[in-house]
Chains A and B, each alone.
Chain A
Amino acid sequence: MPKKILIIDDEEDMRIYLQTLLRKAGYQTEIAVNGEEALEKTKTIEPDLITLDILMPKKSGLNFFKSLRQDEQIGNIPIVIVSGISRHNEFFENETQKGRIVFIEKPIKPDSFLAIIEEMLKSHS
């Protein structure tokens, strides 16, 4: 069974790019355009990994993250944050140390991005 990855990004171009990249690498992908939709989809499809943008309308990446971690069922899903913001929120620091999230700053490099995804999936399987 291919691993399921949920791509959360409000920018269409970014969604298409990540989707194509991950699909080509053999993953099954789903998309969500904002935090609200993402929370719903996470509960339904229970992805193995999530790629998350921080600045989004409706529910921001940070709010989605907080809601996700509060949920026992889906709270432990590893997250790859893909953002234009290089400064990490203090909230994420703890998570970063635990290895449950990884930051990737835009623009991404496809090879290293895929390597990180693979690594995260391995360590959380």
Chain B
Amino acid sequence: MNTVFLQKAYNWAILSVIRIAIISILFALLLTFISLEYSPFILGFVAAALLFLLGILAHRIRHSAAALDYPGIDRFFQRVPCYLSIQDKHMRIIRTNQLFRRDFGDKIGELCHKAYKGSDIICENCPVVKTFEDGQTHTTEETVITKDGEQAQMIVYTTPIYNEDKEIAGVMEMSTNITEIKKLQERIDASRREYMDLFERVPCYLSVQDRDFRILRVNKLFRQQFGNSTGKYCYEVYQGRNSICPDCHVAETLKDGKIHSKEKTVIKYDGTEARLIVYSSPIYDEQGNITSVMEMSTDITEVKKLQQELTLMGSTIAVMAHRIKNILMGLEGGIFVLNTGMEEGDEATIKQGWGMVQRNVGKVSKIVKDLLYCSREREMNFQIIDPIDIVRNVFELFKEKANQEGIGLFLEIREPLPKAVFDPDALHSMLTNLVTNALDACLNDSTEGKEHHEISLRCYSESGSQIIFEVEDNGSGIPGAVGEHIFEDFFSTKGREGTGLGLLVAQKVVKEHGGTITFRSDEGLGTTFRASFPLKKSL
């Protein structure tokens, strides 16, 4: 049907109602004056007044709606797949579409806040009010209640509707149900929070690097150990380098998209070194391009230490077993020679056998002593002593032995040397081991053209704050590869004198005194061990 025609008919009907109402009032007045009867006048007057008001109200509603009515729009308005309603400036709903009516019921004439939310007051930040005020489009998110009593999340757009006089006659409200989207969004937010929380709290170092090796994100543990490194380059943070590390696993992952793992030594925020096992894994964009790499690392410093200790223990036991086997053989041999001497009544053979027994018992004793020194926590016995006494004692101990082997042993003490705090037994043990090693290095030296072997035992004070002990030999030297691990790994040659634990003992002694031990060695030329002790004059 033609909407214009309908509108005209409606207008005519309303005007007629108003006219009838006015006539009814006049007629009621006339009747009152003629018959002077009170009640029919009152009744007639009231009825007419009600009709009048009803007509005015209906007219106003219709007037507002009519201002919005355009031929052909109505069908479209009705079928739009979102909720449409039109409110007048009193917030009264004057028009709704099909979908609105389906989910909210026929709410024409109701106040919108009542219709949507069951509320008696205008909503805070009401977009309809705002649009009436400024004529602009507004958007809000609202929680409304459907006719089934269910809550729904809506995204609401409002837009003004003008009448012929260019006044805002109403505001059209267009709403979309985003309850499901909202739920989905909340789930996404929750899982994002969960992921972020996981990323933050995971008990290993996590970082994300871009294609230029710049750190994009780090987790809590990473920040604690490496500082807030976001924006810096990974090689800068991990290694203090200016360029990419030569064996970079992140670069490998960027190249082949595979997971790579490596063991790396890195420098932490506090300057200490840590051994990490690092995994790198690619992160792709929607097109399948690698945009960044996630790096996950675990600190295995302690594990490594333990592993080294276990390796050390393993090799110590193996070498010890070998040495003990040799000593046992020496003892067996000694007893055999001794018995033979006794059988033959040969004093010289008896002496030889007895000498063998004594030597090998001495070796067992030394091994046990060294093992005990290395393995258990020994209580230090610090005293103020003259280090010269100890050095001289060690020198005397080895002088004859070195002489027998044709090795020159020299003592160099640079005085003045102050008395200082040492554990005398420990210091003696350290020097004994270093000299023993030097003797073995000379005895084992097969370098051709070397006529004479020498060992120098030195002691001197340096810059008034250190006492230095040095043992220098011109023996076989330590091969480069062995030298790298000399203090961390079990080191042994086929020393006749040493137990193989000498350097461990020496290192332990130096550490217990707060000192350092270093060495320099050239294979075939010799070795110098240098133990530096802080000069402490009082206990």
Contact = CB atoms under 8 A, between A and B. Distances in A.
Interface of A: 10-11, 13-14, 16-17, 20-21, 24, 34, 55-60, 84, 106-108, 110
A60 B443 CA distance: 13
B177 to A, nearest CB: 82
A57 B360 CA distance: 21
Contact of A13 (B330, B349, B444, B446): B330
17 contacts: A10-B496, A14-B329, A16-B337, A16-B356, A17-B330, A17-B332, A17-B334, A17-B336, A20-B333, A20-B349, A20-B352, A57-B444, A59-B446, A84-B322, A84-B325, A106-B325, A106-B329
A88 B328 CA distance: 23
Contact of A107 (B329, B337, B359, B446): B329
B494 interface: yes
Given A11-B496, A84-B322, A16 B352 contact: yes
A13 B445 contact: no
B365 interface: no
Nearest to A59: B446
B119 interface: no
A94 B444 CA distance: 28
Contacts of A13: 330, 333-334, 356, 359-360
Contacts of B224: none
A27 B16 CA distance: 154
A108 to B, nearest CB: 7
Contacts of A57: 443-446
A14 B352 CA distance: 12
Contact of A20 (B325, B329, B336, B444): B336
Contacts of B322: 84
A19 to B, nearest CB: 9
Contacts of B356: 13, 16-17
Most chain-B Cβ atoms within 10 A of its Cβ — which of A16, A108, A110?
A16
Contacts of A58: 446
B340 interface: yes
B446 A17 contact: no
Contacts of A20: 333, 336-337, 340, 349, 352-353
A16 B338 CA distance: 11
Contacts of A106: 325-326, 329
Contacts of B349: 20
Contacts of A16: 333, 337, 352-353, 356
Given A55-B494, A57-B443, A59-B446, A17 B337 contact: yes
A48 B322 CA distance: 31
A5 B31 CA distance: 165
B332 A21 contact: no
Contacts of A108: 329
A17 B326 CA distance: 12
Contacts of B496: 10-11
10 closest pairs, A vs B, by CB?
A17-B333, A107-B329, A13-B330, A55-B494, A20-B337, A58-B446, A57-B444, A13-B356, A57-B446, A16-B352
A24 B333 contact: no
Given A16-B337, A20-B333, A57-B443, 6 more contacts: A10-B443, A16-B352, A20-B337, A56-B446, A84-B325, A110-B336
A4 B226 CA distance: 73
Contacts of B340: 20, 24
Given A17-B356, A84-B322, A107 B336 contact: no
Contacts of B336: 17, 20-21, 110
B333 A14 contact: yes
Contacts of A59: 446
B415 to A, nearest CB: 36
A62 B114 CA distance: 106
B332 to A, nearest CB: 6
Contacts of A107: 325-326, 328-329, 332
A73 B290 CA distance: 74
B408 to A, nearest CB: 17
A11 B360 CA distance: 12
A60 B352 contact: no
A55 B493 CA distance: 10
A34 B448 CA distance: 13
A58 B476 CA distance: 10
Contacts of A11: 330, 496
A110 B335 CA distance: 12
A68 to B, nearest CB: 17
A108 B325 CA distance: 10
Contacts of B329: 14, 17, 106-108
A84 B349 CA distance: 25
Interface string B330-367: 10111011001000000001001100100110000000
In this complex, the member of A34, A56, A107, A110 whose beta carbon has the largest number of chain B beta carbons within 10 angstroms is: A107
Contacts of B446: 34, 56-60
Contacts of B444: 57
A23 to B, nearest CB: 8
B497 to A, nearest CB: 11
A20 B340 CA distance: 8
A114 to B, nearest CB: 12
A113 B445 CA distance: 30
Nearest to B335: A17
Interface string B433-447: 000000000011110
Interface in B189-231: none
A23 B227 CA distance: 76
A34 B496 CA distance: 14
A91 to B, nearest CB: 18
